[in-house]
A = this chain, B = another copy of it.
Amino acid sequence: MAEQQKTRITVDIYGQQYAIVGTESSSHIRLVASIVDDKMREISAKNPTLDINKLAVLTAVNVVHEYIKLKEDYDRLLQQMKKEKDE
């Protein structure tokens, strides 16, 4: 098996540096980091007393919630496609 090229970049999220290693492109990793940064700032603006640790956990909670909603939409779309093919 050929080894996949690994990307190593450093991104800034909520004022801290993170070294991210992955097989995705730098632009994908930067996009992901900027979405996390935006979400942390959005949640922090609504809850100014939260410490950074709880803020990061609540950001993860928020994103998992959105992931599950999207997954439900995806599954619904897939079901609909199958139904239309069977008709």
A-to-B contact residues, CB < 8 Å: 13-14, 16, 18, 20, 22, 24, 28, 31-33, 35-36, 39-40, 52-54, 56-61, 63-68, 70-71, 73-74, 77-78, 80-81, 84
What is the copy number of this chain in the assembly? 2
Chain B residues within 8 Å of A70, by CB: 67, 70-71, 74
Which partner residue on chain B sits nearest A58 by CB separation? B18
Whether the Cβ atoms of B56 and A36 lie closer than 8 Å is: no
Chain B residues within 8 Å of A33, by CB: 61
Whether the Cβ atoms of B68 and A13 lie closer than 8 Å is: no
Chain B residues within 8 Å of A39, by CB: 60, 64
* A74 vs chain B, min Cβ distance (A): 5
9 contacts between A and B (CB under 8 A): A28-B68, A35-B68, A36-B64, A53-B53, A60-B63, A70-B70, A70-B71, A74-B74, A74-B77
